[in-house]
Structure 1
């Protein structure tokens, strides 16, 4: 299990504390091989979060909570222009020296920069603070767009949606792009299959565990979704009998091969609906679902909505949630 410590400095925006929990818990809930343990660690002087909706928290962890963790996240906070406390600098440097990844969200990059760990590296912060970061720390190559970047053990991002981009980047590094894409989708939409659907009540997505023996076959399936694939075709590629193939798939994914194939096709359809303007007819062909009617039937059964409604809702939600960062609105952290 990967342990992640979120360092809470005084005046941290509340959503930058809750977003990592949401992202990593979602990844674990929808992908059984994934496991994360999250610690909220209060820095010296921490009193509460910033507004709007400021709140206080109690946590058993202080700076000692950074010991032995795989990743430390440094969110933004109100006093980001001030020099961090010496014990905070020491704790972050010690974590990096032990091999921990260090991630910074929004103006948390200023705090990480003050440790010297970003010298000579690329880094990101909120767009409205990129010039200031570059001026105060000229040894850092500042990404002007605030995109999630990684350089060595250090990772940083603008802080859109409380640092979701950064969390998804770390999930990608740990478990691959497919898990990250599905985590992003679940965080945004929280679509669930109907409880009474026998084919969907496993709660599993079409994701192959890292290092799985069936991974070459699942990758071949993903590359050939536009072709008709029978169970015998999949078994032949894997070099297994149908019964042995089914046992392997159930053991490693929780799904039969054909259930896995259908979910992979629906996941590809979701991604095309989210990121392209392809009509439903073309998406049906590209995903191997054949006809628009067949796509709509399986899409409705597995997601609880229609392709057109999904596309409209997903894009509207993403636009609404990311508009404040794009327009430079919102609190300074």
Structure 2
């Protein structure tokens, strides 16, 4: 019986032309370096996470972005994993090496034998010479050591993922490391919110636990960003700012910012900004002799007419009546 051929989703075939990157959508080529005896579970976890990210991105035509996973080996053709299943790989030419943005080196039971493969070691050196970001999964670091490659990129990309998480150390199992490495890449490229959505789609077990850690960590980060933006709205309410400006300061889309702000603060950011402006207006009415129209302009409320309408709606009195009543009660 012939050895089964296992094909991962969203994997570019060896015959793919580099010119395929010239799509209307942005394409980012990801390479996974394989060899006989690699861990299929880890490689599959990487490919699955990026496949899910592609699907989530396709839901919004406003931000087209696609990862293209390339399975790479020293000689191309079929490569057998540690469980004896085979996958189809490509041997990138010197011209094609330039297209890879990020590289993952799989771990597995065959890593010691692969470390002695001069063709594979030379391929890694050529890939590294192109300054791609390289991350080893599991004992894949042995291959990088054999090639004389330092993992500076891996440390910097993974730092934000593990910092502050309930999991105190790097996950021990290859699939778990693959998951967290893919989430780190997604967070860097597309933001923590999409990375959390991908984590939410991952199955149960140890991987699900790690995904939960990631979600908890970045749910906290998003809440902190929203609270920070609320303070920014108060501090700048007298200026001609808008919700769009606040969303930009928080590095979020306006839609997501409004949703998260309302969830964390209890009101929409536009309502929060209005309250801040009215609060500042009340203070100026009591503490100064400035005319209502000037106060309105200096607190971001346009003019006296608009301010008067807002006051009657919010306080059932005019700004002048508010000033008089407040001073009388002092």
Higher RCO (CA-CA < 8 Å; seq separation 6+): 1
Q: Which has the larger radius of gyration?
A: 2
**Range of TM-score over shorter length:** 0.3 to 0.5
Bigger fraction of residues in helix: 2
TM-score by length of 1: 0.47
TM-score (normalised: structure 2)? 0.48
